[in-house]
Amino acid sequence: MLFDMPLDRLRDYRPEPEEPADFDAFWEKTLTETARHDLDAAFVPYDAGFATVEVFDVTFRGWGGQPVKAWLLLPKARSGPLPAVVQYIGYNGGRGIPYSWLTWSALGYAHLVMDNRGQGGGGKNTADTPDIGPDGHGSSSPGFLTRGIEDPYRHYYRRLITDAVRAVDAAKAHAAVDASRVTVLGGSQGGGLALAVAGLRDDLVAAVADVPFLCHYRRASQITDAGPYA
């Protein structure tokens, strides 16, 4: 990023899409198969010791009906259903501990923070969700982009993006959330996930993607072999 085009050119740069002919069919099949599994969203109260924020340890069923962890933080002072922010985490991070995620609940929003399956093994926030797939694993260090890359149906990001889509359903399943006012948000890998979810759902009010990784992979890998593209 430090030796790409000048900023004024980057602002106008629009890559030519390279969309496979079966792209829509692939995601329709993926999400239809996942929808056959009950969401089973469970919200277990978690005593974080906060005076003004209520915390729930969340489990819902993502890709393949597999359990995915999340945190839900709610302001204790609320008088009705709240707008919600569903947040996705950067590369190699996990949901960590609730103390890391107080901003949005402090602003009066319901805030669901989705765990990254199989990530959280490289010194960042820990993850509590194993990747139970054909190429699955527990928490580990980077290398996720190439896991299962030989087959779109086995690729790691098929599973993670599906989890991210279902996280919106999990947020909507809580009685404190106004299901008509849900936003997705993330930075880096989380920003890429926010964009993906916004492309796969039509029921969001906004998407916030900060420095999104997972964008224009081909060019990124051609201009640098530094991390994470190595």
- How do strand 53-61 and strand 206-210 relate by DSSP bridges? unpaired
Whole domain around residue 143: which residue ranges?
21-223
Residue type, 103: T
Q: What is the pLDDT of residues 36-92, one digit of tens each?
A: 999 999 999 999 999 999 999 999 999 999 999 999 999 999 999 999 999 999 998
pTM for this predicted structure: 0.94
How far from the centroid of its chain's Cα atoms is residue 175's Cα?
22
In what helix (H) or strand (E) does residue 153 lie, and over which residues does it extend?
Answer: none
- Interval 176-199: pLDDT, tens: 999 999 999 999 999 999 999 999
Residue 7 lies in a domain: no
Residue 163 inside a domain? The answer is yes
CATH number at residue 195: 3.40.50.1820
Query: For the chain, what is the domain count?
Result: 1
Please check whether residue 32 lies inside any domain of the structure: yes
- Residue 2: its pLDDT value, please? 65
Q: CA dihedral in degrees (198, 169, 203, 178; nearest 10)?
A: -130
* Residue whose entry in the numeric block shows the structure tokens 């916004």: 198
Cα–Cα distance, 2 to 13 (Å, whole number): 16
**106 within a domain of the structure (yes/no):** yes
The residues that bridge with 84 in the sheet, in sequence order, are: 110, 182
CA angle 45, 37, 141 (to 5 degrees): 70
